[in-house]
Structure formats: structure tokens, C-alpha cells
Homo-oligomer: A and B are copies of this chain.
Amino acid sequence: MADKALRPTSRPARVDAARLGVVALVGALLWLVPVPEGVEPRAWQLLAVFVATMVGIILRPMPMGALAFVSVSFAVLSGTLTIGEATGGFGSTVVWLVVAAFFIATAFVKTGFGTRIAYHFMRLLGKRSLGLAYGFVVTDLVLAPAIPSNTARAGGVIFPILKSLCVSLGSDAALGTQRRIAGFLTFTAYQGVVITSAMFLTAMAANPLAASLAAQQGVEISWALWAVAGFVPGVLSLLVVPALIYRLYPPEITHTPEAPALARQRLREMGPMSRDEWVLLAVFVFLLTLWILGGTLGISATATALAGVAAMLATGALAWEDILEERSGWDTFIWFAVLVMMATQLGELGLLAWFTDRVSGVLGAGHWLPSFLGLSLIYFYVHSAHVSAMYAPFLALAIAVGTPPVLAALVLAFFSNLFASMTHYGTAPAPILFGSGNVEIGDWWRLGALISVVNIVIWLGAGSLWWRLLGLW
């Protein structure tokens, strides 16, 4: 299960023709709608392709990457995009930040360094079950800045440890020994991943996309700005949420001396850090340093990430074969590049400007605060498909009603991650952790809904004060 679920975008190997028909129909209908005045026909056609792609991402007639490939080919053959515009997306620096970071994530999993970190925190914090939960959350937090695949963090590093730990605690749904502690740990690990994904530009594949869509609207969000702005509300959420889950969904076992013992044993088995792990650690420090200072030094985050991968290849810490076999990386590369390209082209063809013009007239004057509050809550709760679909128009709206642009861009970007707390499919690691069977779906949704409110209160409440202090509004 775990291994399969690690590639959630690739599961349906064949094509569902009926669903593909629906996707094509949606696209065709929109395509045939008379082009509104002030919109370039090419922009309208691209919108039709884009909306059909979004519908396809929801209906899943075929894997997302395959769908993206079909969409982009159609856009080119129909003359909606030139071939240069279409393939140009594969050369986007935003996309390569994500691809390079996927390769770095591979190194964390392959060298065992991610696992080692997790065992260290388990050894330090794992005497009590709440401490154990914090141990997983801290591991996730440490890995988040360099691993934009939250699937690699939750599915590749934390889940295998969680699983073997639950077995040794005598609590594992797969073994039929259902005890609440497995559910508590699994659900907390998931909520942790949701929060850490919001905290760094490089903690989630779609974050750089949000940043680049914001840049298109004149709002620059550097790696450092994102990390600083997300730090206070993020840490608060990471502190509050596990404690809240502990209270509302208590494990019957509170003392878990088995956990540090298991961690110590595994660390003994792993032996001292290997050369490859040292290289990775050095690269990790290098990445964090240059990502933090990059804005000041004028070094792009992508250049830093590529250099990190190159360093691991040159030292042999990462084998070229590992990169060629990084299927989820290649998968993300294709669909991500296509979505980034389409979202960018929609902006460049002036569709966004046209949309903003339209709605800003309709919106009342008044203070921006209530409008933005409403907008961001709508964004949070109707967030269905993908940041590539909703982020740009909502940001345009928020700026149109007078919200300070950087604040608007950041809040929407944070919310793009936090909304995932509610469902068992909200973000890629969800099906892995939910698939363990340790948490009932009713508990997942009920607690998830509550946590979504808690996160909103923390991020808009304490967050606002922090951002005010930072001078963002």
C-alpha cells in the first residue's frame, strides 16, 4: 500500500473514456461560448483548455501527467499556444526549483538520513505519546524546507517509522489490533504535514507556483520572506494542534517507553552516519543558507537547488540512476510544468487583467479588511482543484479591493496548504496516512474541520499581529 500510494498521481494506468468525454465536453462548451468583449480569442480558448484540464484533475480520466500532456498538445495543435510557448514551460525556473528539490528529497530517503532524524526525535521526545507526536511533527518541520514533496516527508520518511512503531506498541489496523494510539499518531502526523507545507516556499510543490503567480501580479515573495512570515503562526499551529488532538482524540496509552527504546535500537543498527549522509547534511546546510540569503546575494532559489543536486552527484552521494528512477519527480515535472505554463500564459494573454477590471467595478468600496477576510475564507473553503486555478484570480480580487499585496499573496499561499486539513485526500500524503486504516473517516473529517478553524484563527489572528510587526500591512 505505502509504496503504491507514494505515486498517487499515477495509479489509474488506463483511460476512463467516459470521464475523458466529459472533460472534452466541458472544454468544447466553453470553447464555443462567444468570446466576451475585451478578451483575446486565444486567451478564451486557453481558458477553455485550462478549465477542462482542471475538470480532468478532479475527475481523473487518466493520470494527471498524461492529461497535462494531452491538454498541451491540443492547445498547440489548435493554434491556442505556439510550440515554443508550450514547451517553454518545461524550462521554467519555478518548475526546476521543484524538480531539483524532488531529487534532494530522494537523497533524504535513499541515504536514510531522513529516517535517522526521525529516530533521534523519537528517542528524545518519545517517552510519552504526546511527545512522540511532537517528535514526528518536529522531524517533518526539519525536513520541510528542503523537501517540497510532502509525500516524500510523510510517506517516505515518517510513515514507515510510524508503522513499525505502531506494531511494536501493539496498535496497528493492518494487524487487527486497533488501539487509539495509532490513530492519534497518524492523524497528528498528517495535520503536521499540512502545517509544515505552509511554512516554506520549498515545503510543497505548489508553493513556488503561488509565488510565481504572485510575481506576475507584481508581488515578489522571496524564500526568506515566506519563511519569516510563516514562522510564528506555523510554530503556534504546530504547538497547538497536536495538543488539541491529544485532548479530543486521546490515545489510551500515554506512556510509551517502547518508543525511545525502539529508536535507540534502530539508531544502533544504522551505525554512525555514512559519508553520503554527511554530504547530504552539508548540502542541506548549504541550501538553507543560500535560500535564506539568496534574496540579499541575488542568487535564485533554483540555482541553489540545482547546485545542491550537482554537489550530491559529483560526490556520488546521489547516483544518477536514483534520479532517472525518481518517477514521482518526473510525474510532477510534467503536470506541474504544464499547469505553470498555462496559468502564466493566461496572465500574459491579459485574461486576469480583464477579470480584475470586471469584478473590481462590482465590488463595493469600503475598507479592504472585511472584503479580504471574506475572500480568503471563501478561498480556503471552496478550494477544490489546485492552486494553479484559483490563486491568481483570488489574489487579483484581493488586491483590487485594496488589500496590501504582499499580505494577500502570503495569506492565500498559506491557505492553499492549510485547507488540506479537512479531508483524507486534501494533499498527496493524505491517502497514504489515511490508507493505514488507523483513523476512521468520520473522526478524520470531524477533527479535520475543527482543526481548519483553529488554523485559520491562529494564522489570521496571531499571524496578523506578526505580519503587522514585520510591516507587511
Interface residues of A (CB under 8 A from B): 10, 13-15, 20, 62-63, 65-66, 69-70, 72-74, 76-77, 83-84, 86-93, 95-96, 299-300, 302-303, 306-307, 309-310, 313-316, 319-321, 323-325, 327, 330-331
Which residue of B70, B310, B321 contacts A13 across the interface (Cβ within 8 Å)? B321
Give Cα A314 to B72, complex, Å.
13
* CA of A314 to CA of B62, assembled, Å: 8
Across the two chains, which residue of chain B brings its CB closest to A318? B66
Q: In whole angstroms, how far apart are the Cα atoms of A84 and B310 in the complex?
A: 17
By a CB distance below 8 angstroms, the chain B residues around A10 are 320-321, 324
Tell me the bound Cα distance from A89 to B88 in angstroms: 9
* Inter-chain contacts of A14 with B (CB < 8 A): 316, 319
The answer to whether B96 touches A87, judged by C-beta atoms less than 8 angstroms apart, is yes
Tell me whether A323 and B93 are in contact in the complex, defined as CB-CB below 8 angstroms, given that A15-B314, A76-B307, A83-B303 are known contacts: no
Q: Are A300 and B65 in contact (CB under 8 A)?
A: no
Set of chain B residues within 8 Å of A307, measured between Cβ atoms: 73, 76-77
Contact flag A324-B65 (CB < 8 Å), given A86-B306, A303-B83, A316-B15: yes
So how many copies of this chain end up in the complex? 2
Given A69-B310, A91-B87, A92-B87 in contact, is the A331-B324 Cβ separation under 8 Å? Answer: yes
How far, in whole Å, are A303 and B70 apart by their CA atoms in the complex? Answer: 12
A-B contact pairs, 13 of them (CB 8 A): A10-B321, A13-B321, A65-B323, A66-B320, A69-B310, A73-B307, A77-B307, A83-B303, A86-B303, A86-B306, A90-B90, A324-B330, A324-B331
Q: How far is the CB of A275 from chain B (nearest CB, A)?
A: 12
Q: Known: A65-B320, A77-B307. Is A88-B91 also a contact (CB below 8 A)?
A: yes
| Cβ-defined contact, B302 with A69, below 8 A | no
Among residues of B, the one whose C-beta sits closest to the C-beta of A322 is B13
Residue contact A91 to B91, C-beta cutoff 8 Å: yes
Closest Cβ of chain B to A250, distance in Å, is 42
Rounded to whole Å, the gap between the CB of A324 and the closest CB of chain B is: 4
Contact A310/B93 with A303-B76, A319-B14, A324-B327 known, Cβ cut-off 8 Å:
no
Instruction: Evaluate contact between B83 and A87: CB separation under 8 angstroms.
Output: no
Assembly CA distance A259 to B69 (angstroms):
41
Contact between A310 and B90, CB atoms less than 8 A apart? no
Q: A91-B89, A327-B325 are in contact. Are A302 and B83 (CB under 8 A)?
A: yes
Contact call B87/A302, Cβ cutoff below 8 A: yes
A326 closest partner in B (C-beta): B330
B93 lies within 8 A of A92 (CB): no
Which chain B residue has the least Cβ–Cβ distance from A302?
B83
Note all chain B residues with C-beta closer than 8 A to A73: 303, 306-307, 309-310
